[in-house]
Amino acid sequence: MVFSPPPIKFGTDGWRGVLGADFTFERVALVAGIAAQVLRATFAGPGRKDRIIVGYDRRFMAEDFAQLVAETVAEQGFEVWLSQSYAPTPAFSWAAHQEQALGALVLTASHNPARYLGLKVKGAFGGSVGPEITSQIEAQLSQGLKPAPQAGEILTFDSWPSYCQALQAKVDITAIRRVVEQGQLQIFVDVMHGAAAGGLARLLGCEVRELNSERDPLFGGASPEPLARYVPELLQTIQTAAQQDQERLRVGLVFDGDADRIAAVDGQGQFLSSQGLIPILIDHLARHRGLGGEIVKTISGSDLIPRLAQLYDRPLQETAIGYKYIADRMLGHEVLIGGEESGGIGYGSHIPERDALLSALYVLEAVVESQRDISQLYQDLQAKTHFYAEYDRIDLPLASMAVRGQLLDYLAQTPFPQIAGSPVTDCLNIDGYKFRLQSGGWLLIRFSGTEPVLRLYCEAPTLERVQAVLQWAKDWALSFA
Tell me the C-alpha distance between 386 and 327, whole Å. 30
pLDDT the model gives residue 1: 56
**Per-residue pLDDT, 2:** 58
Say which CATH topology domain 15-159 has.
Alpha-D-Glucose-1,6-Bisphosphate; Chain A, domain 3 (3.40.120)
pLDDT reading at 94 higher than 60: yes
Q: What is the pLDDT of residues 272-321, one digit of tens each?
A: 999 999 999 999 999 999 999 999 999 999 999 999 999 999 999 999 98
**pLDDT tens by residue, 159-201:** 999 999 999 999 999 999 999 999 999 999 999 999 999 999 9
pLDDT at residue 260 greater than cutoff 80: yes
pLDDT above 70 (res 405): yes
Confidence of residue 3 (pLDDT cuts 50, 70, 90): low
Question: What per-residue confidence (pLDDT) applies to 246?
Answer: 83
Closest CA to 43 of 53, 30, 28: 53
Same CATH topology for 15-159 and 170-385? yes
**DSSP characters for 431-462?**
SSEEEEETTSSEEEEEE-SSSSEEEEEEEESS
> What is the CATH T-level fold of the domain 170-385, as seen in this structure?
Alpha-D-Glucose-1,6-Bisphosphate; Chain A, domain 3 (3.40.120)
CA distance 208 to 187: 5
| Domain ranges for the chain | 15-159, 170-385, 390-478
Query: What mean pLDDT is predicted for residues 468-472?
Result: 97
pLDDT digit string (tens) for 60-82?
999 999 999 999 999 999 999 99
On the 0-12 / 13-18 / 19+ scale of CB atoms within 10 A, 77 is: middle
* CA atoms of 83 and 350, how far apart (whole Å): 22
For the chain, what percent of residues have pLDDT higher than 90?
A: 89
Q: Please state the rounded mean pLDDT for residues 429-437.
A: 94
- Class of domain 390-478 (CATH, top level): alpha beta
